[in-house]
Amino acid sequence: YMVAEPKRFIQLAGDLDLAWFEEPVIADDKPGMAEVRASSSIPIATGESEATRYAFRDLAVLKSADIFQPDPAFCGGISEAMKIGTIASAFNLRFAPHLWAGAPCFFAGLHVCAASPASFTVEYSLGANPMIHDLIEETVEAKDGMIAIPEKPGLGFTISERFLEANAQRC
């Protein structure tokens, strides 16, 4: 949207107790995002397409977001996601990584969330996503709104050899 449309949406939806409004304007328009946030009673979430901690620093300094959503597969991996979580914590923002790129990204993000004081939720796809659900041997289950942190070595999952063999021709 352009800045005017999400501001109008916020006026219409402000009393609906929405958890957040994700990327109400194009991610590159950080000043526009700040303008939307300044007019909003709905928390603004953004960051799934940001590639470095410096972009998140700019979001924080401009007061463009309430919730940071870095994608570990896009932002530079676990180390960079941890630095972004630190920025969120330093600016008293919330942290909810975007974890849709597949099982390795999901498990990396799960561990980052467990280690970040700013994290408050995990985005998890319950839909048909074979790169999340079929690529690994384990089954990830949300119980009472919680996902257990794996205790196995590494990120805590095992790649399914069966899945790799079945999909080898596609690569």
Backbone phi and psi for residue 27, each to the nearest 5 degrees, phi listed first:
-60, -30
Give the neighbor-by-neighbor strand order of the sheet with 44-46.
21-22, 44-46, 67-68, 94-95
Alpha-carbon distances of 50 from 26, 70, 96, rounded to whole Å: 11, 7, 14
Q: CA–CA separation, 91 vs 98, rounded Å? A: 19
Q: CA–CA separation, 31 vs 86, rounded Å? A: 22
Give the amino acid at 54: Y
Per-residue tokens: 59: 């979001």
Judge contact between 100 and 123, C-beta under 8 A. yes
Is position 98 annotated as part of the catalytic site? yes
Q: CA–CA separation, 81 vs 69, rounded Å? A: 9
Q: CA–CA separation, 84 vs 55, rounded Å? A: 9
Q: Which of 7, 83, 98, 111 is catalytic?
A: 98
The catalytic residue positions are 98
